[in-house]
Amino acid sequence: MQTVRVNVSYFQQHKTKGIPIVMLTAYDATTARIAEQAGVQVLLVGDTLGMVVQGHDTTVPVTLDEMLYHTRLVVRGTERAFVIGDLPFMTYNISSDQALANAARFLQQAGAQSVKLEGGQHMAPTIHRLVENGIPVMAHIGLTPQSVYQLGGWRVQGRTKAAATRLMDDARAVEEAGAYAVVLELVPTELAALISQRLQIPTIGIGAGPGCDGQVQVMHDILGLFEAFVPKHTYQYAQLGEAMRTAITTYKTEVEQRLFPTAAHAASIDTDLLAEL
């Protein structure tokens, strides 16, 4: 019997019941499988892969084909998880036709169940266009990483009255456009909680405090794999980067000292046959 994946109703059900939504990024089949086995039911194939996988300083260089490739890997590595594909920089901004065509590829070619895109009021018509054509959309407001050059860096958003009001208007706009959930990134705790209370759809926070309806983190951040810098909004539940260095150093030493491999790590042939050779 084929396993049925989590569907979009999961989000509203959790909001209604007051159960926090747990979301995590994934970029390949192996880590996606591990995350699903650990109980995570929502995986985001984020364009953060540009930084934590590809080594760029921002998410801007990531291409659509790269996102589709990594989304396919995550879908292939999971059975039940709800997989969301990030629409990368300038692949949905030119027109709603462009957004519709590219978003459809995530569902049709990569196997995702949803897409995520950045932007509030100005993206509402695009969100509406996608939703009315059967594509579930997760919105993303606050700090929008694809606009990092315009925003002047990785800065908390909504600290002034005008900025806070604009964020609240953005949240209402994406909800009215049909988004089933919205990511709030680097939004002050109190403002994020207020937005969460006023919206009917769930909010997913990252650097937005505990008052959101759910949380999302970057896999490499919580595992201690991304060491360029440690964002304030994350917590390192493991130090896998250090563990990997230790393991690889030990491997190198044992090979150089001829301690690895041993006979136990290889196959053998019959001694009589060896003698004949």
Active-site choice (66, 185, 190, 227): 185
* Angle CA 40–82–53, to nearest 5: 70
With left for phi above 0 and alpha for psi between -120 and 50, is residue 174 left, alpha or beta? alpha
Residue 52 to residue 248: CA distance in whole angstroms: 20
Specify the 3-state DSSP secondary structure of 147: helix
Matching residue, tokens 């990594």:
70
Closest listed residue to residue 27, CA positions, set 235, 244, 219, 204:
219
- Token digits of residue 33: 């499988």
Please confirm, yes or no, whether 118 is among the known catalytic residues.
no
Residue 51 to residue 198: CA distance in whole angstroms: 33
Q: CB-hemisphere CA count at 13 Å for 173? A: 18
Cα 107 to the center of its chain, rounded Å:
16
Contact status, residue 150 vs residue 156, Cβ threshold 8 Å: no
Catalytic residue ranges? 185
